[in-house]
Amino acid sequence: MREKAVKFGANRGLVGIVAEPTVPVAGKPAVVLLNSGILHHVGASRLYVRVARRLAAAGHATLRFDFSGIGDSEPRRDTLGAAESAVVETREAMDLLQTRKGGTDRFILFGLCSGADMGFKTAGVDERVVGLVQLDPFAYRTRGYYVHHYGPKLVSVDAWRNYVSVRVRRWRAKREAARRVPGAVDEERLEYVAPEYRRIFPPREQTKARLEALLARRVQLLNVFSSGMPDHYNHERQYRDAFADIDFGNQLQVDFIAGAEHTFTYLPDQERVLEIVDRWAQRVFPGSG
Amino acid sequence: MNPFYFGSSKSPLYGVYHPPRAGEGAGKAVLLCYPMGAEYMRAHRAFRQLTTLLVKGGAHVLRFDYFGTGDSAGEGTEATVARWLEDIDVAIDELKETAQTTSVTIVGLRFGGTLAALASTERNDVEQVVLWDPIIDGTQYVQDQLAAHEGERRRRGGPANAETAGVHGFPLTSAMRAAIEPIDLLTWPGGNSRIEIVTSAEREDARDLAGRLAARGRAVRAQVFPSNGNWAESDAFGSALIPQGIIQGVLGCVLGDKVTSA
């Protein structure tokens, strides 16, 4: 495995790291890793570096890079919005890998949270995408979700106590907000940059239609869920149940790492992610070499 | 801006070199030393902003990842303090060669400040070292890290006294703990550099450090720039901390009267 820093994109303002196998393996798609929120291309807990190196060692060329204005990349000079420019820049990243020596026109997009959303969006418009790895992607509540959510709580004294305390906190917060001067700025918060991307899950039917389009193109899907989106997802079967009206055939693998944080901070969870991704890639893209 | 790998070809380091903005003329060469662990992620954007301001002020800037961190070679579990000090040495030489200068300024944040201080001790080409919210007491720092680990261990399980403790997503090995614990900057003799200690709040240990260094005849100045300094905090979504007040303070220390506004 060897690594090289690259600049690319319309004004060569995008920065990334190509990690590629020392000996190329024929038939392996290249992998592009997409920022989650404002975390730069190293990824939460350095997960992207480790995933990229593991996949490169397994024969995939990989590129982890920063969208414009994030991490090491320059801001764009045009007025394209972040959701649109992310798709443009992901395609530029694919172009870069494709035109390198021994480049391929088959790609896997990998992303956590907003990175997963951008991968999903790009996969819908670029037929070079043959695989999609999404960590904590769009999810939809099912009857099973509510059973898992409320079932254990109905018989727990602590849960009822917590319920009352949350209601009181919300009421206090509401009262506090009503007292605040309209338009007042909390100056302390200006020093924090939280992800500007507001994650809005599209309607289920829209996601279903996009999934069906990807499946028709024979795109392979890997979804890994953490317990970090408790308002949206809480058990392994939920994704398949939410899309019970889709025939995924052998094109979907879903894993749920119970207890994991959204950014997979627990070290054994990171190992699980690495192992899941590595095995999935070897199973569905064994290469022809 | 030039992202590149440098150092040993077996275990290269990732760095980004930023030349001075055109027309500003040749200026200082500034090496930025990141903090460690999750604080590295939290500080990345603040370092970008500081870099932008330094470059506007005519400085050459190199920011880089230590071995086993960021995009540099190696696993986090393989990193050692001794290796990181060597990395700073290599980065200083790389920056001097790239910027065609004979001396550098080092700015280090948190444990990066501690490393910057230690790395500057024996060198004659570090004109100035800026310790930004530095870790002064290694034992206390390790205890704080282990407390964060213990919280996670209680939630998720795992053996007590593990060889490698996970701290907000990053490994802290027993070897690393053993190397950090004995570090006490209050006993640091200082080197040939001018020393700036900048903190985001009044700190008795920082004042003490400045007093001791002054008593040893070192050129030292301690300043407080009230700002958010909660580098050790962590959240589930990876927010960044960009404490404007102290960034301007650091900028002033490095560029003096050449300070530019954001």
| pLDDT tens per residue, range A9-39 | 988 999 999 999 998 788 999 999 999 988 9
Host H or E run for residue B44: helix B38-56
Q: Which residue has the higher pLDDT, B29 or A26?
A: B29
Contact A41, A71 (CB under 8 A): yes
Asked if A265 and B234 come within 8 Å (Cβ–Cβ), the reply is: yes
Asked if A3 and B71 come within 8 Å (Cβ–Cβ), the reply is: yes
Host H or E run for residue A209: helix A204-216
Residues in a beta bridge with A135 = A112, A224
In a domain, B123, yes or no: yes
Which of B11, B18, B71 best probes binding to A when mutated, by most A CB atoms within 10 angstroms? B71
Let me know if A116 is exposed, middle or buried by CB neighbors in 10 A (0-12, 13-18, 19+).
Answer: buried
pLDDT on residue A179: 59
Could you give the CA distance from residue B195 to residue B209 in angstroms, rounded to a whole number?
Answer: 11
Fold of A2-140+204-284: Rossmann fold (3.40.50)
Question: Closest partner residue to A5 among B4, B38, B240, by Cβ?
Answer: B4
Least confident segment among A156-170, A217-231, B213-227:
A156-170
Asked if B166 and A41 come within 8 Å (Cβ–Cβ), the reply is: no
* pLDDT(A83) > 90: no
Contacts with A247 (C-beta within 8 Å, 6 or more apart), sequence order: A215
Host H or E run for residue A62: strand A62-65
Helices (H) then strands (E): counts for chain B: 7, 11
Asked if B237 and A195 come within 8 Å (Cβ–Cβ), the reply is: yes
| pLDDT tens per residue, range B172-195 | 999 999 999 999 999 999 999 999
CA of B121 to nearest chain A CA: how many angstroms apart? Answer: 31
In a domain, B165, yes or no: no
Q: What is the dihedral of CA B232, B233, B234, B240, to 10 degrees?
A: -90
Helix axes A114-125, A204-216, angle to 10 degrees: 50
* pLDDT(B25) > 50: yes
Rounded to whole angstroms, the maximal C-alpha distance in chain B is 58
In this prediction, residues A64-85 reach a mean pLDDT of 90
Structure pTM?
Answer: 0.90
Could you give the CA distance from residue B114 to residue B135 in angstroms, rounded to a whole number?
Answer: 6
Residue B57 pLDDT grade (very low, low, confident, very high; cuts 50, 70, 90) = very high
Contact B251, B50 (CB under 8 A): yes
In this prediction, residues B252-259 reach a mean pLDDT of 78
| pLDDT tens per residue, range B122-162 | 999 999 999 999 999 999 999 999 999 998 888 888 887 78
pLDDT on residue A187: 37
Host H or E run for residue A269: helix A267-284
Which of B61, B237, B244, B248 best probes binding to A when mutated, by most A CB atoms within 10 angstroms? B237
Question: Closest partner residue to A17 among B71, B76, B243, by Cβ?
Answer: B71
Asked if A37 and B238 come within 8 Å (Cβ–Cβ), the reply is: yes
User: In terms of CA atoms, which chain A residue is nearest residue B166?
Assistant: A267
Residue A177 pLDDT grade (very low, low, confident, very high; cuts 50, 70, 90) = low
Asked if A45 and B152 come within 8 Å (Cβ–Cβ), the reply is: no
Q: How many CA atoms lie within 13 A of A172 on its CB side?
A: 6
Asked if A39 and B168 come within 8 Å (Cβ–Cβ), the reply is: no
**With contacts defined as CB-CB under 8 Å, which chain A residues touch B241?**
191-192
* pLDDT(B109) > 70: yes
**With contacts defined as CB-CB under 8 Å, which chain B residues touch A74?**
1
| pLDDT tens per residue, range A152-176 | 666 666 666 666 666 777 777 666 6
In a domain, B125, yes or no: yes
pLDDT on residue A256: 97
* pLDDT(A189) > 70: no
In a domain, B35, yes or no: yes
Question: Closest partner residue to A49 among B16, B71, B234, by Cβ?
Answer: B71
pLDDT on residue B23: 59
| Structural domain of B57 | 2-138+184-258
Mean pLDDT, chain A, whole residue set? 88
**With contacts defined as CB-CB under 8 Å, which chain B residues touch A7?**
1, 3
CA of A73 to nearest chain B CA: how many angstroms apart? Answer: 9
User: In terms of CA atoms, which chain A residue is nearest residue B4?
Assistant: A5
Could you give the CA distance from residue A42 to residue B71 in angstroms, rounded to a whole number?
Answer: 6
Q: Where are the domains of chain A?
A: 2-140+204-284, 143-178
Question: Closest partner residue to B243 among A7, A191, A267, by Cβ?
Answer: A191
Question: Among all chains, which residue has been given the structure tokens 């790395």?
Answer: B119
Contacts with A99 (C-beta within 8 Å, 6 or more apart), sequence order: none
Q: What is the dihedral of CA A177, A183, A184, A185, to 10 degrees?
A: 110
Q: Which amino acid is at A80?
A: L
Could you give the CA distance from residue B169 to residue B166 in angstroms, rounded to a whole number?
Answer: 6
- In chain B, how many domains are there? 1
In a domain, B222, yes or no: yes
pLDDT on residue A147: 85
Could you give the CA distance from residue A163 to residue A283 in angstroms, rounded to a whole number?
Answer: 45
* pLDDT(A100) > 60: yes
In a domain, B174, yes or no: no
Degrees (nearest 5) of the Cα angle A218, A127, A208?
Answer: 60
* pLDDT(A186) > 50: no
Residue A185 pLDDT grade (very low, low, confident, very high; cuts 50, 70, 90) = very low
**With contacts defined as CB-CB under 8 Å, which chain B residues touch A193?**
45, 239-240, 242
**With contacts defined as CB-CB under 8 Å, which chain B residues touch A268?**
156, 158
Question: Closest partner residue to B242 among A45, A46, A191, by Cβ?
Answer: A191
Residue B252 sits in a domain whose CATH number is: 3.40.50.1820
In this prediction, residues A244-272 reach a mean pLDDT of 96
| Phi/psi of residue B169, nearest 5 degrees | 100, -5
In a domain, B190, yes or no: yes
In a domain, B191, yes or no: yes
What is the residue-wise DSSP string for A238-260?
A: HHHHHTTTS--TTSEEEEE-TT-
* pLDDT(A191) > 60: no
In this prediction, residues B2-20 reach a mean pLDDT of 97
Q: Which residue has the higher pLDDT, B25 or B167?
A: B167
* pLDDT(B102) > 80: yes
Residue B61's SS3 state is: strand
What is the residue-wise DSSP string for A13-49?
A: -EEEEEEE-SS--TTPPEEEEE--TT--TT-GGGHHH
* pLDDT(A188) > 70: no
Residue A195 pLDDT grade (very low, low, confident, very high; cuts 50, 70, 90) = very low
ipTM above 0.85, yes or no: yes
Nearest to A36 by CA among A91, A94, A117, A90: A117
